[in-house]
Every structure is written in C-alpha cells, then in structure tokens.
Structure 1
C-alpha cells in the first residue's frame, strides 16, 4: 500500500493536523513545531517530518484551515476596536517564536509559489478587513481619509511588523495611536 493511500498514514496526518490546530488556538503560531505536534498527536517526530519536511509548510497547512482572527467583525466606534486589534497583533508578534515564524514564511514566499499564494491571500484578507472597518468609520463620520486599502494596511500594520520583527522592539500604545492618527482625521 502506498504512503499516500495508507489509512494509518491518513489517520496520523489528521491527528497531527488536529493537534496542530489545537496548539494554534491555545498557544498561537509559535507553538507549531514538529516536536510539539508530535507530542500532542501521540506520534513520533519523524512522522511529522515525513508529512511536512519544512516547519513552515506544517504551519501553513494548519493556518490555511483556520480563519485569520485579526481585524474581524469591526465594532463602532472603530478607533478603539482598531486599537485593540493592532495591540493584539503587536503582542503576538512580540513573542520571538511568532516573529521567527512570520519572517520565515515571508522569506519562504520569495521562492515558494504555494507559500507566496497563501501569503497573498492572508494579506488580501487583512487589507479588506481594515478597509471595511475604516470605510465604516468614514460613513459614520468618525474619520476623514482618502487612503486606499493597500495604503491603509501598510500604514497600520507595516510599522508594527517592522518594530517587532526587524527591530526586535516593543510596540508602545503611543505608537499604535500615532499609526491610527496617520490614517486620517479622527473626530472624537
């Protein structure tokens, strides 16, 4: 029986994916390692490596089945909601393992078309969600802005990614407020 059609292999693959999803939900992306998934699923680490030789492929498969939690369901007023979302993103990226995984995925996207496609889909989702929230704020008169969707996400998310991953620094609440102010004129 071939590896791909072996029912035992299929069961262990599903067990590993379930374990990885549990780890993702309970501890975040930094917990998705071959060793942790193997422990959680009750399989050998070699089994995890056999299915996903590169850790970023395991993380991508797990994340592709999970809905991106950030910037969902905007609330009004938008500014405090947006501040909470950006704070959550900054706090998650402040965890060294999460920052490392994020950078690894971005680097891998340069050479791997599958990873690039998934990265592009995630960026599209973030951009659309931020744009929808800001459009809602504009419609309610909370903010005036003429920034396009791509610029909005770059102005809000880009500096947080840079500060946490490139500078290995802390994102202050003051920085988040300045980023939000950079989107437009907020009427308080």
Structure 2
C-alpha cells in the first residue's frame, strides 16, 4: 500500500546538499545567509522545499547541530589529564571556527533559539562536567569548575574574537580539579 502526499522529510541527498551549503554559508557569511533564498541560490534546491523543511535560520541551525558528528572525548582514566585534553580539543574547535560560528549565530538568532542555544551550550559543557564529576566534585563545585574552564574560552572566541587562552583554561583545570595540596581530588 502506498501513501499519498508529500514525504515527512526531505530526501537524504537533498538534506545533505542543503546542510552542507548551510554550514559553508554560516562559516563564511553568518546567520543572515541561512535563508531559503540564499540556500536555493547555493544549492539549486527549490525555495519551497527548503522553506517547507527548514522554515527559519534557527531551524537550519538546529538541523546542523543534529547532524554534527560528536567530537572525540579522550579518556585515560585520569580526569585531570582528560580535562586538559578536552580544553585542547575545545580550543581547536573554537579556533577552527565551527563552534565559534555556531555560538555567534545562536546569539544573533531571535528568542526562538533560546532552547537550541541552551542545548548547544550544554553540549559544550558536558565533557567538562563529566571530568569534574570524575574528579570527585559535585553540585556547585562542578558548576563552578565548568564555568571557570569554559566561560573564558567562549568569551575569548565571541567577544575578543581571538584565540582562546589555553594556558588560562589549563590553570583553571588544575585549580578546580585538584585538592588544595595539589593532589588530584579523586583517586
């Protein structure tokens, strides 16, 4: 038995073409380029198809986030060493533009992007949160450690628009994931 009407979503090839172009446009031109008209110009996919499946720039961002491959998360069993590796990975992702471009676009988006913005930031913080918990921190200690490590890096990328200060982030890891005597906070 066949169904009548339009399929629930775009064909896989259409999705790939549109989202590949959307990422390139986002990185080169910013959020304003994620319109149906601009995506049509870049891909040849009809404006109506684009609008039907990605009706706003926020929906395009959401689709890009949904298909983004998760970054590797190193695990050596030492939460401090792993947090240092996470810092380096995150700084590379900020420097190489995708994360910073997504953050800039999410900040530029209207209030319809609030939940998506929070989801993206939670995803950025998750590996640092995991490392802090592995180091034996809990509750506010975890929140404070994550904020001390991640927030300055994001500020560097978004406000200063420069390279994130890795050394400062590494010092924050050492300060927050070690006991006052310098020993790791967890065995």
Aligned mates of 2:98, 2:55 — CA distance in 1: 18
Q: Which residue in 1 is equivalent to 2:162?
A: 169
1:5-64 CA-to-partner distances (Å, cap 9, x unmatched) read 434x9444x333334666899x9x73897568976xx64374675243543421212212
| Number of aligned residue pairs | 169
1:117-145 CA-to-partner distances (Å, cap 9, x unmatched) read 2222333344444233222223xxxxx78
- Gap runs ≥5 in structure 1: 139-143
Aligned mates of 2:44, 2:63 — CA distance in 1: 18
Aligned mates of 1:47, 1:64 — CA distance in 2: 22
Q: Which residue in 2 is equivalent to 1:141?
A: none
1:59 and 2:61 correspond: yes
Q: Which residue in 1 is equivalent to 2:6?
A: 6
Aligned mates of 1:56, 1:69 — CA distance in 2: 22
Name which of structure 1's ranges 145-154 and 166-175 shifts more when overlaid on structure 2: 145-154
- Gap runs ≥5 in structure 2: none
1:155 and 2:153 correspond: no
Q: Residue 16 of structure 1 is aligned with which of 10, 14, 17?
A: 14
The alpha-carbon distance between structure 1 residues 92 and 124, as it changes in their structure 2 partners (threshold 3 A), is closer
| Contact 2:145/2:172 (<8 A) preserved | no
Q: Which residue in 1 is equivalent to 2:104?
A: 103
The alpha-carbon distance between structure 1 residues 17 and 163, as it changes in their structure 2 partners (threshold 3 A), is same
1:120 and 2:113 correspond: no
Cα offset, 1:98, TM superposition: 4.5
Q: What is the RMSD of the two structures over their aligned residues, measured on CA atoms?
A: 3.9
| TM-score, structure 2 normalization | 0.65
Match of 2:176, SS?
Answer: coil
1:179 and 2:172 correspond: yes
Name which of structure 1's ranges 100-109 and 150-159 shifts more when overlaid on structure 2: 100-109
